[in-house]
Amino acid sequence: MPLDKIGGKGVFVKDIEKRLLRREIDIAVHSLKDMQASLPQGLIIGAFLKRDDPRDMLLPCSSMAGCTIETLPKGASIGTSSLRRRCQIKDIRPDIRVIDIRGNIPTRLKKVGSDVDAVILACAGVKRIGLPAGTPIDIDTMIPAPGQGVIAVEVRQDDREVQDIIKSLDHEHTRICAQTERAFLSTLGADCHFPVAAYAILDSNSILIRGMVGRIDEHYMVKKTIKGDPASAGRVLAEMLSEEMEGEGVRS
């Protein structure tokens, strides 16, 4: 069953958040891209660790080693459970067969060469567990999930002691970019129920943000890049893309 049908990526962090609110634990560590756009009342992100590689990575079978999405053989198959990735793959290569697969990284990699010709995973995840690298996908080709490559430390809002302990972990540049991407996500009201992507880069006092919104059937998407105030750029881009989708008669 596709991930969006069982509650989206946030389903994997909700139990941990419940334990945090019940004071069974004092700190929760998450991959930021797996967190809901809106946190449960009483919880905050106390620290954003310095961002790792935000890109996606293509890991093909040995007979297709070195291939990119653009150079995979016609009709090749790629495994992913991500609506965001599926939508962008179909935009780049309509001939590619996209197969729904789930599981941890080793489980997915075992399917390469048997069930699928390649899989797409987050670069950061592959690197963190020390697996051989595949081919990174340029961000202009495939925009990552909001927060991809960022580790977030979630704490209780009223726990000042813990907040003081972890504040040295916070990376300001990453925080600003991540908050811009999450503002984009929050404005759309998107929690993995339709294809959405965002990536922000801080440039002096302004921020550059790329965004993508797609239709849930993956047959239509819009992308746009804007530069603006970090406090509002995410929201502004989300509103622009929503208007463009509605202008085409598409409701995400």
Active site residues: 34
End-to-end CA distance of the chain: 20
Identify each DSSP E strand in the chain by its residue range.
Answer: 28-31, 43-48, 56-60, 77-79, 97-99, 118-122, 135-137, 151-156, 196-203, 206-214, 221-228
Which structure tokens are listed for 190? Answer: 């998107």
Tokens of 181: 């991407």
Q: Say how far apart CA 70 and CA 92 lie, in whole Å.
A: 7
Q: Which residues pair with 224 in a beta bridge?
A: 211
